[in-house]
Amino acid sequence: MTRAEENLSMMSKEKAIECAEEALLHVYNRYQIILDHGDGMYLYDSEGKKYLDFCAGIAVFALGYNNERFNNAVKAQVDKLVHTSNYYYNMPAIAAANALSMLTGLDKVFFTNSGTEAIEGAIKSARKYAYNKDGRTDHEIIAMNHSFHGRSMGALSVTGNPHYQEAFKPLIGGVKFAQFNNLDSVKELVTDRTCAIILEPVQGEGGIYPATEEFLQGVRKICDENDILLIFDEIQCGMGRTGRMFACENYGVKPDIMTVAKALGCGLPIGAFVCNKKAAALVAGDHGSTYGGNPLVCAAANAVFEIYQDEKILKNVRETGDYLFKKLEELKEEIPQIVDHRGVGLIQGLEFNEPVGPIVAEAINSGLILISAGANTIRFIPPLIAKPEHVDEMLEIFKKCLWML
Ligand SMILES: Cc1ncc(COP(=O)(O)O)c(C=O)c1O
């Protein structure tokens, strides 16, 4: 612990939060807890209170906290080499790129530091592909209403939520929004300038809406017929969350470009966009990142891949996900305020007929970390090691919270 951290740890929680609010830009309405450490499915705050975690740092920490194999892999890399630059090769990045291209079935990987940056790279790839074809600089992208792709200007421009966009206009041009799961609304927007269609196979932030098979296959067909690149944002729904490595595998549909992040590094900041040969249009000088794909974050990703395989994480997601599905269906029947239940694997949502903020706050008070997706939907995105007994424990607390409100 540094001296500054030690000084803070002597303060009361309230005083430390006061310091936080003085120093940090207030772009989050934070809950009044300071999380300190974790173990498996549980987190502990600075006062020792235990929380069952059904949020996983927003679909990030898949392996359970304090995972020994993951920690050891990261520690070993810290002692060896943390950063070089992308002007040189490093072994962890080579291994991680090979694994990602094998798992996605795509060809070329670019590592980023976040999901948002993966989206930026995907947008640039699509524009460059179209530019190479016709030399025009007025290409268009079709994105979906209620999507979420990140907060930087490019990612924000394809995010179908006017609330996030309004104050930051003008955004990047040429973006049109279709209705998710409505193929006709996509067809209507296609022009000879459309270079890409971007969507999440399961919309996360927008309220846990899985695509229909008809929609995903139909969008693939539109892209094939019009030489448009299909971009799947698997940042939240990928890396095993639906019970398959990537959500699009549930539909038998392959994108031209896939974006990945969150559980890829299980907390170390790494994302990627992965292109097939056709979409790999960026060349030397077109794109770059100082940190992207450094040895440390890639060692973390390699550990994640290995642990997924050895500990049969996907099988666990399918089993626990089915159990969660059954239990949430039962709850929907029991509680009249619940109007819908959606999702698959360990990315499920319960929509209420009113805002769920007070339920989430009550759950956190009661030792259960939950998160919403949109105003009226509770999102269940636990670490992917969750077992049916954790679902039971979660439901016991959750039901009490519903009763108290
Ligand atoms: C589907 C999706 N795309 C992109 C992002 C942005 O990722 P990041 O916050 O790592 O930049 C998110 C984050 O929640 C996301 O859920």
3-state secondary structure the chain: CCHHHHHHHHCCHHHHHHHHHHHCCCCCCCCCCCEEEEEECEEEECCCCEEEECCHHHHCCCCCECCHHHHHHHHHHHHHCCCCCCCCCCHHHHHHHHHHHHHHCCCEEEEECCHHHHHHHHHHHHHHHHHHHHCCCCCEEEEEECCCCCCCHHHHHCCECHHHHHHHCCCCCCEEEECCCCHHHHHCCCCCCEEEEEECCEECCCCCEECCHHHHHHHHHHHHHHCCEEEEECCCCCCCCCCCCCHHHHHCCCCCEEEECHHHCCCCCCEEEEECCCCCCCCCCCCCCCCCCCHHHHHHHHHHHHHHHHCCHHHHHHHHHHHHHHHHHHHHHHCCCEEEEEEECCEEEEEECCCCHHHHHHHHHCCEECEECCCCEEEECCCCCCCHHHHHHHHHHHHHHHHHC
Pair (140, 230) in one structural domain: yes
Per the structure block, which two tokens stand in for 265? Answer: 């590094």
How far the first Cα of the chain sits from its last, in Å, is 40
Q: How far apart are CA 263 and CA 283, in angstroms?
A: 28
pLDDT band at residue 90 under the 50/70/90 scheme: very high
Q: Do 303 and 320 lie in a common domain? A: no
CA of 373 to the centre of ligand 1 (A): 13
Residue nearest to atom 8 of ligand 1 (CA): 115
For residue 269 and ligand 1, the question of a CB distance below 6 A is answered with: no
Residues 287 and 156 in one domain: yes
For the CA of 203, the closest atom of ligand 1 is 1
Shared-domain flag, residues 158 and 285: yes
pLDDT of residue 388: 98
Regarding whether 131 and 43 lie in a shared domain, the answer is no
Which one of 257, 287, 310 terminates a domain?
A: 310
The pLDDT of residue 227 is above 90: yes
Instruction: With respect to residue 10, please indicate whether it lies within any of the assigned structural domains.
Output: no
| 127, 195 contact by CB (below 8 A) | yes
Q: How confident is the model at residue 348 (pLDDT cuts 50, 70, 90)?
A: very high
**Ligand 1 centroid vs 9 CA: distance in angstroms?**
31
234 lines ligand 1 (CB under 6 A): no
User: Tell me: the pLDDT tens digits for 108-119?
Assistant: 999 999 999 999
Q: What percent of the chain has pLDDT over 90?
A: 97
Q: Is the pLDDT of residue 403 over 90?
A: no
If asked whether residues 282 and 319 sit together in one domain, one would say: no
In this prediction, residue 271 has a pLDDT band, given cuts at 50, 70 and 90, of: very high
pTM for the model: 0.98
Q: Is residue 25 part of a domain?
A: no
> Once rounded to an integer, what is the mean pLDDT over residues 35-50?
97
Could you tell me the pLDDT band of residue 9, with boundaries at 50, 70 and 90?
confident
pLDDT average, residue stretch 361-385: 97
| Any atom of ligand 1 within 6 Å of the Cβ of 273 | no
Residues linked to residue 143 through DSSP beta bridges, in sequence order: 177
Question: Containing domain of residue 130, as a range?
Answer: 70-310
What mean pLDDT is predicted for residues 180-209?
A: 98
**Residue 113 Cβ < 6 Å to ligand 1:** no
Whether 154 and 293 map to the same domain: the answer is yes
- 372 Cβ closer than 6 Å to some ligand 1 atom: no
259 and 369 in a single domain? The answer is: no
Quote the mean pLDDT of the chain: 97
Domain boundary among 256, 290, 310: 310
Q: How confident is the model at residue 365 (pLDDT cuts 50, 70, 90)?
A: very high
pLDDT higher than threshold 90 for residue 23 = yes
Residue 119 CA: which ligand 1 atom is closest? 4
How far apart are the CA of 234 and the centre of ligand 1, in A?
9
Q: For residue 58, is pLDDT > 90? A: yes
What is the whole-number distance in angstroms between the Cα of residue 119 and the centre of ligand 1? 9
Ligand 1 atom having least distance to the Cα of 150: 6
Q: Is 241 in the pocket of ligand 1 (CB under 6 A)?
A: no
**Whether the predicted pLDDT of 310 surpasses 90:** yes
Asked if the structure places residue 13 within a domain, the reply is no
Average pLDDT over residues 38-48: 97
Q: Is 160 in the pocket of ligand 1 (CB under 6 A)?
A: no
Q: Is the pLDDT of residue 405 over 80?
A: no
| Last residue of one domain, picked from the residues 310, 342, 360 | 310
- Say if residue 147 is in the same domain as residue 187: yes
Q: Is the beta carbon of 57 within 6 A of some atom in ligand 1? A: no
Domain count, the chain: 2
d(CA 235, CA 58): 11
pLDDT band at 167 (very low <50, low <70, confident <90, very high): very high
| Ligand 1 centroid to residue 111 C-alpha, Å | 15
Nearest CA to ligand 1 atom 9: 115
Q: Within this chain, do residues 305 and 317 fall inside the same structural domain, yes or no?
A: no
What separation in Å is there between the alpha carbon of 115 and the centre of ligand 1?
5
Residues 97 and 84 in one domain: yes
> What is the distance in A from the centroid of ligand 1 to the CA of 398?
26
Examine the pLDDT at 199 and tell me if it is beyond 90.
Answer: yes
Alpha-carbon gap, residue 72 to 361, rounded angstroms: 35
**Ligand 1 centroid from CA 235, angstroms:** 6
- Range 123-129 average pLDDT: 98
Q: Is the pLDDT confidence value at 69 over 80?
A: yes
250 ligand 1 Cβ < 6 A: no
Q: How far is the CA of 309 from the centre of ligand 1 (A)?
A: 24
Q: Is 236 in the pocket of ligand 1 (CB under 6 A)?
A: yes
Distance 395 CA to ligand 1 centre (A): 27
